[in-house]
Amino acid sequence: MNRRRLLQAALGLCLAWLSWAIAPTTALALGGPQIPIGNLAPEFTLPTNAGDGEIALADFRDQWVVLYFYPRDFTSGCTVEAQRFERDIAEYQTRHAQVIGVSADSVESHAEFCDAEGLEFPLLSDPKGKVSKAYGSWLGAMSLRHTYIIGPDGTMQARFLGVQPVIHSQEVLAALDELQRGV
């Protein structure tokens, strides 16, 4: 691994740990202001390694969306997080929820990551952080480890800022259950 990628990976791990360690509960988080719960989620269209090459939030109207941002493909925490989402993908499908990952990595990197890890859900490429910034999940040159649940009507329903990759998918499923009971 070249020195630059090693430094990027180390920075990503440090930022992920810092994001988890401070676990903010206010609407301002490391990465920027957060969309208030109940407000419309920012619309986006980004390139992907899956399907027709682009995915928009509007493509998933009338179903739940689990939009998760992560620092880098192939890093340890990001790999564990993606593996857990993939392991639980049938559970998300029974809840009519689509899992979508976003990072600054290229479409090509996402394709390699999906192939290596057997990921079936789409990963979106946000190299300049435009969408990550809109969601308050951007720091420097990478997305932070944040997750948002967006309701079928396009509104922000829940957010996770202090993500622990090993247990995160189960936390999101539990939140989906609670939100869907209240609908």
Catalytic annotation present for 114: no
Where does the chain have alpha helices with state H?
A: 3-22, 76-87, 89-94, 107-117, 130-134, 165-181
User: Which of 109, 174, 163 is closest to 137 using CA atoms?
Assistant: 163
Give the active site residue among 35, 57, 67, 78.
Answer: 78
Say which DSSP state 40 is in.
Answer: B
The dihedral sign for the CA sequence 161, 77, 164, 125:
positive
Residues taking part in catalysis: 78
